[in-house]
Amino acid sequence: MCSEQPVKTQFSHISAAADMQNDSEERSSHASRCFGQCNYTAEEYQAVQNALRQKLGPEYISTRVAGGGQKVCYIEGHRVISLANEMFGYNGWSHSISQQNVDFVDLINGKFYVGVSAFVKVQLKDGSFHEDVGYGVSEGLKSKALSLEKARKEAVTDGMKRAMK
């Protein structure tokens, strides 16, 4: 069972994150003008550091059946985005795709099998960043366009989650 294994991450629901957003209206126009060059206040820095030390609760962890019938645990992309917005503020972080490659497109018996890799960069308002690669696949769809779309989106989401480590 997934909840038996500790899941350590930098994101967690903390009250300090709410403090960071109390004056977000005042900072939002300033932050957009200096994104990547704005320093954290001492309070913001401490709140982020405290959040980085937290573990995710079981309510953030989802499970699915993988190859061979094995059960795997993961965090959904929308939860990672929500946690990042909560921790850094909606305008305190960003992600970008620096490269995306279609690794293969196979047509077998009228169905498409697609693999895509994506290099994703997550950057904070102070300019610090982390970049990682994600991978997405689509198997057995009849539409080439939908297969490519699914694999591309999956690769970007996977890359963003990995870059948030």
The predicted-structure confidence for 103-144, as pLDDT tens digits, reads as follows 999 999 999 999 999 999 999 999 999 999 999 999 999 999
Is 125 or 151 the better-scoring residue by pLDDT?
151
Is 60 exceeded by the pLDDT of residue 82?
A: yes
Is 147 or 165 the better-scoring residue by pLDDT?
147
- Phi/psi class of residue 35: alpha, beta or left (left: φ > 0; alpha: ψ in -120 to 50)? beta
| Distance, CA of 33 to CA of 24 (rounded, Å) | 14
Is 2 or 100 the better-scoring residue by pLDDT?
100
SS3 category, 124: strand
Lowest mean pLDDT among 81-90, 95-104, 113-122, 153-162: 81-90
pLDDT of residue 14: 33
User: Which H or E element spans position 71?
Assistant: strand 71-74
Q: Which residues make Cβ contacts (< 8 Å) with residue 9, sequence separation at least 6?
A: 54, 55, 56, 75, 165
Each residue of 34-77: pLDDT tens digit?
777 888 889 888 888 888 888 888 999 999 998 889 999 999 99
Average pLDDT over residues 81-103: 93
| Per-residue pLDDT band at 33 (split at 50, 70, 90) | low
Average pLDDT over residues 14-32: 44
Is 50 exceeded by the pLDDT of residue 22?
A: no
Cα Rg of the chain (Å, integer)? 18
